[in-house]
């Protein structure tokens, strides 16, 4: 009887683990997909709804910016009011906003719907990692995060392809309608299959949220408007300086607040600081490059949206194949060497793309760089998740997940803004030659930024898991000098 009870408990635990992986992975897929699904549809959106380069930037940045600035607040909401409850709330908001984006009559309403989408994703996304960590035994988390990383990689891979295919064969509106049936199907599953949990129950940090939100908005807005209004324009300068001042105020406030949304003491950890710096820089270089390269393949090389999405698969699709392997490797040799190797490979790939870009470059010439960048991206995703979650104490994992996701999205929003500014300063949409003139320095900067991310990853100390499960009260991450 005891053996049967234990077997039944083990089977139930495994089933719970599987359901947690499926539900959180699909939710993560939806949120990650909407980061890039718009990129191959931008020319069609521009043709249908009008708008300048800055408007196209905001169709992407409105999502990434609200996603970024509210992620830590979303994690805090989950800790305070229940992670499953707030996960369901975020998923509902995301699904409804997707329907609003699909029916948007103009570029302004599309940007507004994208901003609400980002807010829903900000509540939903950080809780996926927290819920997954709680449901999976410590010994299997590398594999679980590897699967999650592969699904995120699938979203990155299929974003340009799905966006291109739906835009070409139906209409760009369907890149948003796609989320609605997924969200409707996921809501009852999450309600029935995920267990409720809470964090410390600390009060919400409203002042911190307002400071960081205002600061990030000011900086991104200034970067987006700089090429349009001029870098010495009064509005641009006020926006940049106000944003920087608010962020400085956020850091100062967080060092003194009793319950800050992002405790600054976490950054005393080399592991936490190193992996978060690497994440921010990696997404800055990657997102800005994909934003421009997807337009380059259509506007300059003449590919259809579907053809452009397919040709980017060797880069964006590689995480589907390599991320689970990278997760297992991180369990065996540690996350630092895997993450650093991946970042340096992606920097090499982007640098090569910048060097060969021309109005008549062949796909065969681009293919090696796309593959190298794809392998590099895949080696980053799963080990980075693992490093973040193992760099803090169990009760801090919710806020650590939110902080890491926030910094990634901040990097994405800044990457699009910075590289679009470089692109506009050196080139433009007037001709194929003008586009290439702007593309090459922008992607070269992206390569350099990702290279800096690789250097930041080297500062992460070698780490081995504690023998105690991470979810056990009192267990803490254990640092060792890795002989390997």
Q: Provide the residue ranges of all domains of the chain, joining segments of one domain with +.
A: 11-190+261-479, 205-260
Please report the pLDDT score of residue 134 as a whole number: 67
Question: For 58-67, 91-100, 384-393, which range has the lowest pLDDT when averaged over its residues?
Answer: 384-393
Class of domain 11-190+261-479: mainly alpha
Question: What value does the mean pLDDT of the chain take?
Answer: 77
Burial of 42 (0-12, 13-18, 19+ CB in 10 A): buried
The CA radius of gyration of the chain, in Å to the nearest whole number, is 21
Asked if 240 and 225 touch (Cβ cutoff 8 Å), the reply is no
Tens digit of pLDDT for each residue in 154-190? Answer: 666 566 677 777 777 787 788 888 889 988 988 888 8
Structure tokens of 169? 């064969």
Helix or strand run (H / E) with residue 464: strand 463-464
Q: Output the CA–CA distances (angstroms, integers) from residue 217 to 36, 63, 120, 246, 295, in the order listed.
A: 20, 12, 18, 10, 25
pLDDT of 142 higher than 90: no
Closest residue by Cα to residue 119 from 136, 151, 96, 149: 96
Average pLDDT for residues 442-447, to the nearest whole number? 92
Residue 252 has pLDDT above 90, yes or no: yes
Lowest-confidence segment of 114-123, 398-407, 446-455, 470-479 by average pLDDT = 470-479
Considering only residues 127 and 342, tell me which one the structure prediction assigns the higher pLDDT. 342
How does residue 483 score in pLDDT terms, banded at 50, 70 and 90? very low
pTM for the whole structure: 0.71
Q: Is pLDDT of 452 > 80?
A: yes
Contacts 24+ apart (CB under 8 A), 402-405: 402/71, 402/72, 402/73, 402/74, 402/75, 402/76, 402/126, 403/71, 403/72, 403/75, 403/262, 403/266, 403/276, 404/275, 404/276, 404/279, 405/71, 405/125, 405/126, 405/129
Average pLDDT estimate for 187-200: 76
């Amino acid at each position: 009887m005891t053996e049967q009870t234990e077997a039944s408990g083990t089977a139930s635990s495994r089933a719970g683990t599987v359901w947690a992986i499926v539900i959180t992975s699909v939710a993560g897929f939806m949120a990650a997909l909407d980061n890039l699904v718009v990129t191959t549809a931008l020319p069609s959106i521009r043709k249908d709804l009008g708008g300048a380069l800055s408007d196209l930037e905001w169709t992407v940045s409105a999502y990434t910016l609200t996603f970024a600035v509210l992620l830590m607040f979303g994690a805090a909401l989950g800790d305070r009011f229940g992670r499953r409850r707030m996960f369901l709330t975020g998923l509902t908001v995301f699904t409804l906003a997707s329907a609003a984006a699909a029916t948007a009559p103009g570029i302004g309403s599309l940007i507004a719907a994208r901003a609400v989408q980002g807010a829903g994703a900000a509540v939903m996304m950080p809780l996926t990692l927290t819920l997954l960590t709680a449901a999976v035994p410590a010994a299997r988390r590398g594999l679980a995060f590897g699967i999650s990383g592969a699904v995120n990689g699938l979203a990155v891979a299929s974003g340009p392809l799905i966006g291109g295919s739906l835009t070409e064969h139906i209409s760009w509106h369907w890149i948003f309608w796609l989320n609605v049936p997924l969200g409707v199907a996921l809501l009852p599953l999450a309600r029935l299959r995920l267990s409720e949990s809470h964090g410390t129950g600390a009060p919400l940090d409203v002042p911190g949220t307002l400071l960081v939100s205002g600061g990030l908005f000011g900086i991104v807005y200034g970067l987006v408007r700089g090429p349009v209004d001029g870098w010495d324009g009064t509005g641009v300068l006020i926006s940049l300086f106000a944003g920087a001042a608010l962020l400085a105020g956020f850091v100062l406030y967080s060092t003194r607040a009793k319950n800050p949304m992002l405790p600054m003491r976490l950054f005393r950890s080399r592991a936490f600081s190193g992996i978060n710096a690497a994440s921010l820089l990696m997404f800055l270089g990657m997102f800005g490059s994909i934003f421009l390269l997807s337009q380059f393949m259509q506007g300059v090389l003449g590919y259809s949206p579907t053809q452009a999405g397919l040709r980017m698969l060797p880069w964006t699709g590689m995480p589907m194949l390599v991320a689970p392997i990278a997760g297992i490797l991180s369990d065996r040799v540690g996350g630092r060497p895997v993450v650093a190797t991946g970042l340096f490979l992606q920097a090499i790939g982007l640098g090569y793309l910048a060097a060969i870009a021309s109005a008549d470059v062949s796909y065969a010439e681009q293919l090696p760089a796309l593959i190298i960048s794809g392998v590099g991206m895949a080696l980053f995703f799963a080990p980075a998740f693992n490093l973040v979650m193992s760099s803090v104490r169990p009760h801090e994992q919710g806020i650590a997940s939110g902080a890491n996701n926030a910094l990634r999205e901040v990097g994405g929003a800044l990457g699009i803004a910075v590289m679009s500014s470089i692109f506009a300063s050196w080139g433009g949409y007037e001709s194929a030659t003008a586009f290439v003139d702007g593309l090459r320095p922008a992607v070269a900067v992206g390569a350099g930024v990702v290279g800096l991310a690789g250097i930041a990853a080297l500062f992460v100390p070698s780490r081995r898991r504690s023998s105690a499960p991470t979810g056990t009260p009192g267990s803490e991450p254990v640092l060792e000098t890795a002989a390997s």
